[in-house]
Amino acid sequence: MSTPQPKPINRLVAQYLQQLETPSLSLPDGPTLINPAVQRAIYTRMFDESATWPLPPVHYRARVLKMILSRIEGSVVDPEEDEISDDLTEAYSTLICTPKPSSIQQAQQLTYVTYTAPSPSPSSPAHTDSESHPRTIITSESRGLILASGTTGFRTWEAALHLGTYLSTPAGAGLVAGKRVLELGAGTGFLSMFCAKYLQPESVLATDMEPALIDGMVDSAGRNELGERFGAGIWEWGTELRRLGGGEGKKPEFDVVVGADLIYDTDLIPLLINTLDDLFTNYKVREFIISATLRNEKTFNAFLDACQSANFKTERLPFDSPAESEQLGFFHSTRIPISTYRVWR
């Protein structure tokens, strides 16, 4: 039986493993951090390389641990009673002495990132189990590579985290349970892997046009132990999907398609509409779930207009991400609105 972990640090651990910017981390207050049990849990879950994998890069770990130690030191009232964990201080000494890559190398470096799904509501029977056994997904990312090899897919963007948050709810999970799922523009594969590991689909195929992204997804799928339920393959919109499976001359079939942040450029809209028409007509797809960050509402409205012209039906799903201060997992900014739509014919 696993040892119960102090609840005050659950949110911090999830944010840390997702490698949020340090100002966004939810550090517990000083009186909580001074507790020896809390310090032991912080060391084991955040800094002990023999107990937790993957851990963030060394430079990030050092910054976070420095913040934690500073807060603990500032909370010492009685030096005889209030102690700082030797494990934490030794870990910090090791981290600051470890050679670190240059800023340019850090920006280009691939690293494993752990995303933790939001816990069900406290009234849900699954709430207690999710706290002791959180639903996590590991991806391979390079967040400094905003545009590499002609793609922005080397990081998981806010719209994917928003859609993942929706899929973690009973209503969202019902869209993919028992279904054959296809993801367009999968990037890191975060959404597809979350579906495959936890939402009980019949199958999931993650697609993107960049070979390096497919290699990353295949590697991450192994890290997440997804097995045969998950597949990944190259698919450039406007080309045949047949080559990804089903044998010679046989097209695979899907029930639902998902995608996030696919139409950041109006030039992509005709390609996406043609692709959806092909999927609805030739691949037995019943519905398309798309999440989009509304950086430019005109762009997304142009997509909705194109759907109408193609005789597709659309509806906005009644879901909004929690405020950042209330998020319990799949942490993401809500400063720019994010909407999720269902498209069908």
pLDDT at site 2: 43
pTM score: 0.91
CATH number reported for the structural domain that contains residue 256 in this entry: 3.40.50.150
Does residue 223 share a domain with residue 78? no
pLDDT of res. 154 = 84
Task: Judge if 255 and 219 occupy the same domain.
Answer: yes
- Report yes or no on 1 lying in a domain: no
Each residue's pLDDT, cut to its tens digit, for the chain (345 residues) gives 344 455 779 999 999 999 999 999 999 999 999 999 999 999 999 999 999 999 999 999 999 999 999 999 998 877 777 789 999 999 999 999 998 777 777 667 789 999 999 987 554 545 445 566 899 999 999 876 654 444 565 899 999 999 999 999 999 999 999 999 999 999 999 999 999 999 999 999 999 998 889 999 999 999 999 999 999 999 888 877 644 544 556 788 999 999 999 998 899 999 999 999 999 999 999 999 999 999 888 999 999 999 999 999 999 999 999 999 999 999 999 999 999 999 999
Number of structural domains in the chain: 2
| DSSP strand pairing (287-293 vs 338-344) | antiparallel
Same domain, yes or no: 138 and 281: yes
Phi/psi of residue 318, each to 5°?
-80, 70
For residues 112 and 34, membership in a common domain is answered with no
Tell me the residue range of the domain where 164 lies: 107-344
The residue type at 160: A
Residue that finishes a domain, picked among 100, 122, 152: 100
| Statement to judge: residues 329 and 296 lie in one domain | yes
Same domain, 48 and 154: no
Contacts of 169 (CB under 8 A, 6+ apart): 319
| Domain endpoint, select from 100, 123, 143 | 100
Residues 158 and 200 in one domain: yes
The answer to whether position 2 is within a domain reads no
Contact 258, 289 (CB under 8 A): yes
Same domain, yes or no, for 251 and 309? yes
Which of 71, 100, 129 terminates a domain? The answer is 100
Is the domain of 183 the same as that of 253?
yes
Residues 311 and 194 in one domain: yes
Any idea which residue has 């695979």 for tokens?
Answer: 252
pLDDT of residue 292: 96
Question: Are residues 52 and 141 both part of a single domain?
Answer: no
| Whether residues 276 and 317 fall in one domain | yes
- Long-range contacts made by residues 98-103, C-beta under 8 angstroms, separation at least 24? 98/58, 98/62, 100/58, 100/59, 101/59
Residue 26 placed within a domain: yes
